[in-house]
Amino acid sequence: MKKNSIYKTTFWAAMGALFLNNPIMSQSNIGGYKGIFYADAIHRMEASAQVVGEGGNYYRIILKATPESDEQEGIQLELNGIGQNRQISIFGRMGGYPWQGNIQEGNMNIQGGYGQRFELQKMERQSPTEGMAPPENAVILLPYTPDVAPDMSAWSNPNWAALDDGSMRIVPGTGSNRTIEQFGDIQHLHIEFKLPVESQHLDQLRCNSGIILNETYEIQVLDSYGVFQTSGDCGAIYNIERPLINASFPPNTWQTYDITFQAPEMDTNGEIVALPKITVLHNGVKIHDNLEIPYPTANRNAEHKSKGSISLQHHDIGHNIQFRNIWLIEGE
């Protein structure tokens, strides 16, 4: 059978699977992969891939192979996938050749022209600051002990759920949550969060929340794994600056923010003397470096605030986002 015929057969078989399978079963394949790209009979390269949900049974597979030497060319591909029960069938045409393969039980195998192929295995990601213990002088906002429901007394919304795994979860329809205590300068704010898989949603509807400082300045929370970052994506200073790097992990993985915040300085008349500044590390990667925030994120015409609560945002659609291990050290 000719190669083009194989590609067409794979394409229509995969399209038919879209209507025959439960999309939830294949979602466990979302995430990162590492392994080897076989460029030909001689050369091999380290390779990686991201599997991103695109709604229903659709997936996007982003592949990259990096050569050991500048004298050799690498490869970047973006292919399509459709879930079939617990597997994903992969297909597409890039670089002048058809590609086809699958993901099954954590193994990704993709074949191209003239023996080119990827052999990758799923990997688990962990932030270097996950589980960071608060120092003695920290203000504990949400204590974390594994397998113990957290004390939520520092928060104003008692309708959120305290889970036995040590986290606090948004309960859809109950509104946002904010600290009872107010803060100004913050030397170090540590927050851990986990986003559920929401492949049925796209863009701003996928796990949307936010960390809002002084009730005014938002660091976006969103499932932005594998997307081209905007000022509305995860880690963005909302509608002001996108992250320097997309450091997002896949959904169902604990992620971390470590934040330093300098509150705006006001004179006795309430006029701005110095704008607020912020530094953010997402999963240990610096994504904002002493960024000056020119105006409040939700409404640029709103007034700056030198002190306020820390809010965890709830959107009307409702997302079962979890938070844990929240603490801060106040600025001097």
For the chain, what is the domain count? 2
- Please, which residues have CB within 8 angstroms of residue 90's CB and are 6 or more apart in sequence? 61, 79, 80, 81, 99, 100, 101, 102, 103, 108, 110
Is 33 domain-assigned? yes
Q: Which residue has the tokens 């045409």?
A: 93
Residues 87 and 149 occupy one common structural domain? no
Query: How many Cα neighbours within 13 Å face the side chain of 60?
Result: 13
Which CATH number fits the domain that encloses residue 92? 2.40.128.120
pLDDT, one tens digit per residue, over 298-313 is 778 888 999 999 999 9
Segment 60-89 mean pLDDT: 92
Residue 208 has pLDDT above 80, yes or no: yes
CA pair distance 132, 120, nearest whole angstrom: 31
pLDDT of 103-139, one tens digit each?
999 999 999 989 999 999 999 999 999 999 999 999 9
Domain presence at residue 91: yes
- Together in a domain, 154 and 286: yes
Buried-exposed string 218-252: b where 16+ CB fall within 10 A, e elsewhere: bbbbbbbbbbebeeebbbbbbbbbbbbebbbbbbe
239 found inside a domain = yes
Are 212 and 255 part of one and the same domain? yes
Residue 197 is predicted with a pLDDT of 81
Quick count: other Cβ atoms within 10 Å of Cβ 285?
16
Residue 280 forms part of a structural domain: yes
pLDDT band at 10 (very low <50, low <70, confident <90, very high): low
- Single out the residue in 62, 90, 123 at which a domain terminates: 123
Cα-based angle 12, 16, 22 (whole degrees, multiple of 5): 145
Given 61, 94, 123, the domain boundary residue is 123
Instruction: Average the pLDDT over 217-246 and give the result.
Output: 93
* Domain shared by 90 and 158, yes or no: no
Q: Is residue 117 part of a domain?
A: yes
The answer, as to whether pTM is greater than 0.95, is: no
Question: Which percentage of the chain shows pLDDT scores above 90?
Answer: 72
Question: Residue 67 is encoded by which pair of tokens?
Answer: 């050569």
Domain limit, last residue, from 123, 149, 175:
123
Residue corresponding to tokens 């660091």: 219
Q: Are residues 28 and 73 in the same domain?
A: yes
pLDDT at res. 228: 86
Is 132 part of a structural domain of the chain? Answer: no
Task: Please list the alpha-helical segments (H only) found in the chain.
Answer: 3-17
56 and 186, same domain (yes or no): no
117 and 144 in a common domain: no
Higher pLDDT: 9 or 225? It is 225
Whether residue 209 sits in one domain with residue 87: no
H helix and E strand count, the chain: 1, 22
Contact 200, 303 (CB under 8 A): no
109, 150: one domain: no
Task: Tell me, yes or no, whether 114 and 219 share the same domain.
Answer: no
Q: Which of 2-11, 96-105, 268-277, 290-299 has the lowest mean pLDDT?
A: 2-11
Domain of residue 86: give its range.
3-123
**Domain co-membership, 28 together with 87:** yes
Write the CATH number for 221: 2.60.120.560
Please say if the pLDDT value at position 274 is more than 80: yes
Between 172 and 1, the higher pLDDT residue:
172
Point out the least confidently predicted range of 10-24, 193-207, 301-315.
Answer: 10-24
Q: How confident is the model over 54-82, as a mean pLDDT? A: 91
The mean pLDDT value of the chain amounts to: 90
- Would you say residue 80 lies in a domain? yes
Query: Nearest CA to 29 among 58, 65, 64?
Result: 58
Residues 78 and 143 in one domain: no
